[in-house]
Structure 1
């Protein structure tokens, strides 16, 4: 009797596993961008999600006052300063920004940054922002270790379309990772 129960249990587990759809790994699209001039506000030396949420809330209060804006998405830019230390958050920066046609008349509290022209691996994420970290874990874990491409040590960025809503169940966010192609 025990053998029959074990066989039934194993059969049930096998059928359940076979019925699950395989998880597809994200495949980046290769693209390039010309130099971009950005203006926004930044956070230095912290990867704390609450502080980043506060940064975006503060950005929402100044974005309409940024002159020379190029119509289009908002950007979350990750960068390293010359003091970057991989064992700590020291030297890591994050900037909520928009692209501008010229860096001029920057509002008080805002900063500018020029992102150099580059080739990129572009990952499209569709889902709730709560799970965006899973995409980053894949990109900077398994995908980087695969050796498909060689990443550049320069700004990477998230591209949020104008319909982005952090409370929505589904958003589309494109993550641009600079690479040597």
Structure 2
């Protein structure tokens, strides 16, 4: 696996609406979360980009549990569909990595980011959640290769 150096960017504050999971993903819960979310995306009004969806992942130091929201960006959150949540992602600086490959190898990309790149960079991970940006054209569960932009919040 080869990853190029990340692009460093600043993202303005944005809003998302989606469905939330909290746990360890021991039984493919994230796949189930996405599979139940995709058919419901049309219920979300005021979407900003119909071609993108986002995984918002918050790690908790010292715990193997994490929160994850399958989501889309929205212009406003006046109407949140039943059993969905709205969250505001604040302004931050991010290192963007591009994962190309199977979902099974996504863990290796994160191991590189957190085990090699981040400790050897001049940056620290901030307390904000990581963001996975999916192009919906690449989110067919039958695909063997995905292109996922991974935004790591840094300071």
Say whether the fold is shared (TM-score over 0.5): yes
Which ranges in structure 2 are unaligned for 5 or more consecutive residues?
Answer: none
Shift of 1:47: 3.1
Q: How far apart, CA to CA, are the structure 2 residues paired with 1:109 and 1:46?
A: 21
Residue 31 (structure 2) aligned to one of 53, 56, 62 = 53
- Counterpart of 1:121 in 2: which secondary structure? strand
Q: How large is the Cα RMSD of the aligned pairs? A: 1.6
Q: Say how many residue pairs are matched.
A: 153
Q: How far apart, CA to CA, are the structure 2 residues paired with 1:24 and 1:57?
A: 29
Check if 1:157 corresponds to 2:136.
Answer: no
Question: Mean alpha-carbon deviation: is it higher for 146-155 or for 110-119?
Answer: 146-155
Moved beyond 4 Å, runs of 4+: none
Structure with larger Rg: 1
- Counterpart of 1:99 in 2: which secondary structure? strand
Check if 1:114 corresponds to 2:96.
Answer: no
Which ranges in structure 1 are unaligned for 5 or more consecutive residues?
Answer: 1-22
Match of 1:11 in 2: none
Check if 1:42 corresponds to 2:20.
Answer: yes
Residue 173 (structure 1) aligned to one of 136, 144, 148 = 148
Check if 1:130 corresponds to 2:96.
Answer: no
TM-score by length of 2: 0.90
- Whether the 8 Å CA contact 1:129–1:166 is kept in 2: the answer is no
Match of 1:32 in 2: 10
